[in-house]
Amino acid sequence: MSHRVSLPRTLVSAVRTASLTATIVASAVAAPSVVAQNSGALTLEEVTVTARRRSENLQDVPIAVTALTGDELTLMGSQDITELAQSIPSVTLEPSRATNTTLTAFIRGVGQQDPLAGFEQGVALYLDDVYMARPQGALLDIYDVERIEVLRGPQGTLYGRNAVGGAIKYVTRRLSDDLEVRLRGSYGTYNQADLVGTISAPITDGFRVGATVASFNRDGFGDNLFTGGEQYDKDIFGYRLSAEFEPTDSLLIRVSYDNTDDKSSAVAGWRPYDAAFSGTPSPSDVFDTNAGASVLPSTAGINGNNQVESEGWMASIDWDVSEAMTLRSITAAREDYTESVIDFDSVASADFDAPVVYDNEQFSQEFQLLYNADNWNLVLGYYYLDAEASNDFDVVLGLLVPGGLTAYTGGVVETEAWSVYADLTYDLTERVSLSVGGRYTEDERSADIFRAQYLGIGSPFLGNDSAFLLAVNSDFEAKRTYYDFSPRFNLSYALSDDMKVYGGYSQGWKAGSFDPRGANFATPAVEQGFDPEELDSWEVGLKSTWWDGRAITNVALFYSDYQDMQIPGSVGVDSDGDGVNDSFVGTVTNAAQSEITGIEIEGTLLLTENFSAQFAASFLDASIEEWLVGDVDVSGDRAIQNTPEEMVFVGLSYNTDLAGGNLLINANYSYKGEVQQFEAPAPDIDQDSYGLLNASIVWTSGDEQWLVGLHGKNLTDEEYRTAGYCFGFSGCPSALGLENNTTVFFGPPLTGFVTVEYRFQ
């Protein structure tokens, strides 16, 4: 757990003025906030969070949680939420393959690799207390943010949807009682040009409105050598409208609407090998490609378009019935639509291309009763979710036979779920607190799946009316309801005013579902769906403030027993028995048992009035203990994906007066151990251990109206893999196509940018 930072002027003022008492957040990635006591001693400032649905000192919360403020993220030059994984233990956040805004998230070995319909995320993402059921559009750019909280371990007795691995909460800024205007512009390498404008204004006493408009643009890190287009470029426009109404001191009504449009180019992976059929050479630059799917007939059904549109609205009501009791209602709806070009072969031929359409929508309603009085803190809640996720895609194998083969898949998975939950904390003594909680869930899944093979480039469903039907592989409707009760308990003991130990147990659960890519004619069991997964987690921790308040160290040790882990995958199949894979199906396996053990460390040291150090680390032992395939245990050849065994972060910050303002200099280094992209090893796409070096220099004016920053990311220009497709001839679970189709995606290279921000209030 880390403490976080606000604007650097507050830091300097706190050192100068012993009477300063503002609540500040300090960080493991920027300069920590301090106050000078009457004795003149420096101390780290107390941090207030609401991770347990009430305001508490972060050091008093007996769970593993990290909180970052919007101001701190601005000081670091953070651009989207994937950067959080560099400094937070046991967290992996990456863009899904071939996208800018679809999120792949893992916490403590739990997550979801595949964004297809039917698979909910193991890590729950919330936007202003609204659960985002689908990963499309979930890779949020950082703007208009008050704070981001990352909770590690199962969640489900305090709010929202049940989550197996953890939760990420993105909280936007509250509106001000006074007129506020913020304008921020950035320009950097690869012609990065970002603009963000925010306004908050009071209309009448108790009624406020606000709006934020944001544009994020960047040329590609590489080139498409065939089309002349961009690779890894960025073209995103978003806006947010909000209003707050406080008719009385005890009633708050908030409404908001947000919209994001991502028109970035389709990203195709780098080929480590020359194309086997066409002879196209592997590009010399890992950010380049020869992909041609966007201009070939294989994606004509979506006009070669690559775009993600997402929007949502939210209305919340908080009513303080009394000093001890609050009633809360959160009503929300979201939807997103994606047309995406996936070029598995990354060459100009239509050897293995896929036009994809995702269409998702959801409605949720949550009611909460919060009671805080004397020694009692109680949360009671009801949560309802009605969601529909659909995908339509062609898998075009254009070289396999004359005229080409196409496998079409259309699937709709509907979810209707409701839960009741409760969490009670009782202070047994001034130093001992006991928390108990539980959640009961009923989760109904229904599916309508159709798969067929056609002779031709493309299917009738995606524009090719002349395609000839060869065979129907799957055609079924199914429904299944899952039931669960998940408990939680936690006991904490304050050894002193500055040191607390805690221990607890929590259970995570995720319902089963149906694989929309499965072929029920060949495998009738597909119609039965796959089973729920369950995780039992035991955790002990120590939270300490020492060195006369100048140091914070938090340690958490955990053990997770992961049962029936849902593992989605996709393989090529040989439908006609000629020895050549001519189709593509999804596979979902419930691995019988996995075990994940780990230790997480976070801390901050205030070395001098101007100099500080920040650190974080996690060391994990994650293994699949049993995985039966045809009564054969294959666990010895499998590993948990996207989960490095070790992660280390170190940051150094220096703060000084300059030109009537404050100058903050920060350098940080993050290291991650080797990562296996999928359960089966694939050396061509798996990532060895690597490190990233970042630095920032930020000047803030004395009146805090102006901020000028210079930021450098990946200063050593490290090449590191974030994802890949493995359908090549060697080292892959199965081969598909004729070009030896293994492709790899990489994280950003060395980049730098300048930011100027003006604040009026």
pLDDT at 49: 60
Query: Is the confidence at residue 8, as pLDDT, over 80?
Result: no
d(C-alpha 505, C-alpha 665), whole Å: 41
- Whether residue 467 is predicted with pLDDT greater than 70 in this model: the reply is yes
Would strands 166-172 and 123-127 be described as parallel, antiparallel, or unpaired? parallel
> Tell me, what's the pLDDT at 221?
97
571: pLDDT strictly greater than 60 = yes
More confident residue, 210 or 581: 210
pLDDT of the residue at 14: 30
Task: Please report, as a single letter, which amino acid is at residue 180.
Answer: E
The rounded distance, in Å, linking the Cα atoms of 66 and 89 is 9
Q: CA-to-CA distance for 550 and 554, rounded, in angstroms?
A: 14
The predicted model gives 113-127 an average pLDDT of 81
pLDDT at 734: 86
Domains of the chain: 8-760 (2.40.170.20)
**Count of other CB atoms within 10 angstroms of residue 633:** 14
Residue 679 confidence (pLDDT) above 90: no
Q: What's the pLDDT score for residue 60? A: 65
What pLDDT does 45 receive?
65
* Contact of 593 with 622, CB cutoff 8 Å: no
Sign of CA dihedral 344, 348, 351, 354: positive
234 closest CA partner among 212, 259, 261: 261
- pLDDT tens digit sequence for 181-211: 999 999 999 999 999 999 999 999 999 999 9
| pLDDT given at position 435 | 95
pTM of the complete model beyond 0.95: no
pLDDT at residue 161 is higher than 60: yes
Between 144 and 326, the higher pLDDT residue: 326
Residue 30: which pLDDT band, with cuts at 50, 70 and 90? very low
Q: What's residue 694's pLDDT?
A: 97
What's the one-letter identity of residue 276?
Answer: A
Q: What's the mean pLDDT in 234-253?
A: 95
- pLDDT for the residue numbered 225: 97
Residue 449's pLDDT band, with cuts at 50, 70 and 90, is very high
Mean pLDDT value across residues 506-520:
87
Q: Does the pLDDT of residue 96 top 90, yes or no?
A: no
Q: Given this model, what pLDDT does residue 313 score?
A: 97
User: Is 40 or 425 the better-scoring residue by pLDDT?
Assistant: 425
Q: Which pLDDT score, from 0 to 100, does residue 480 have? A: 96
Q: Between the ranges 4-18, 105-119, 264-278, 510-524, where is the mean pLDDT highest?
A: 264-278
Average pLDDT, the chain: 88
Give me the mean pLDDT over the 348-377 stretch: 94
Tokens of 6: 């606000």
- Quick one: pLDDT at residue 686? 94
Mean pLDDT of 565-594: 74
At 753 the pLDDT is: 97
> Which span out of 22-36, 107-121, 301-315 was modeled with the highest average pLDDT?
301-315
Instruction: Identify the residue whose tokens are 């493309």.
Output: 458
Environment class of residue 13 by beta-carbon count within 10 Å: exposed (0-12), middle (13-18) or buried (19+)?
Answer: middle
Is pLDDT above 60 for 38? no
Mean pLDDT across 324-353: 95
Average pLDDT over residues 63-83: 85
Least confident span in 27-36, 39-48, 223-232, 346-355: 27-36
Q: Would you say residue 52 has pLDDT above 70?
A: no
- Helix (H) / strand (E) element for 148: namely strand 145-152
The residues, ordered by sequence, that sit 6+ positions from 400 with a Cβ below 8 Å of its Cβ are 580, 582, 737, 738
Rounded Cα gap, residues 379 and 384, in angstroms: 17
Beta bridge mates, 760? 181
SS3 184: strand
How far is residue 680's CA from residue 734's CA, in Å, rounded to a whole number? 11
The whole-number pLDDT of residue 5 equals: 33
The answer to which of 46-55, 460-469, 686-695 has the lowest mean pLDDT is: 46-55
Q: What are phi and psi of 359, to 5 degrees?
A: -140, 110
Amino acid letter, residue 243:
A
Averaged over 218-226, what is the pLDDT?
97
User: Which residues, in sequence order, are CB contacts of 49 under 8 Å at separation 6+?
Assistant: 55, 56, 58, 61, 65, 67, 149
Residue 20 confidence (pLDDT): 22
Residue 119, both tokens: 């698979």
- For position 31, what pLDDT does the model report? 45
pLDDT score, position 28: 43
User: What pLDDT, in 10s, does the model give residues 381-404?
Assistant: 999 999 999 999 999 999 999 999
Half-sphere exposure in the Cβ direction for 596 (13 Å, CA):
28
| Percentage of the residues of the chain whose pLDDT score is greater than 90 | 71
660 pLDDT more than 60: yes
Q: 306-327: buried (b, 16+ CB within 10 Å) or exposed (e) per residue?
A: bbbbbbbbbebbbebeeeeebe
Q: Mapping DSSP to helix (H, G, I), strand (E, B) and coil, where does residue 346 land? A: coil
Q: Cβ–Cβ contacts within 10 Å for residue 710, how many? A: 16
pLDDT of amino acid 47: 59
- Per-residue confidence at 50, pLDDT binned at 50, 70, 90? low
| pLDDT score of 53 | 59
What pLDDT score does 2 carry?
38
Of 44 and 49, the one with more pLDDT: 44
Q: Is the pLDDT assigned to residue 48 strictly greater than 80?
A: no
Whether 55 has a pLDDT exceeding 80, the answer reads no
Pick the residue with more confidence: 147 or 33? 147
Question: Residue 515 to residues 389, 478, 552, 758: CA-CA distances in angstroms?
Answer: 12, 11, 46, 50
Predicted confidence band at 286 (pLDDT cuts at 50, 70, 90)? very high
User: Which one is predicted more confidently, 226 or 133?
Assistant: 226
Give the DSSP H or E segment for 9. helix 8-16
Both structure tokens of 556: 């958490």
pLDDT at 504 over 70: yes
- Binned at pLDDT 50, 70 and 90, residue 54 comes out as low
Q: Do residues 163 and 124 touch, judged by C-beta distance below 8 A?
A: yes
447-460 mean pLDDT: 95
What CA–CA distance (Å, rounded) separates 493 from 428? 10
State the pLDDT at residue 57. 63
pLDDT value of position 17? 28
Split at pLDDT 50, 70, 90, the class of 19 is very low
What's the pLDDT band for 46 if we cut at 50, 70, 90? low
* Both tokens assigned to 562: 């992961």
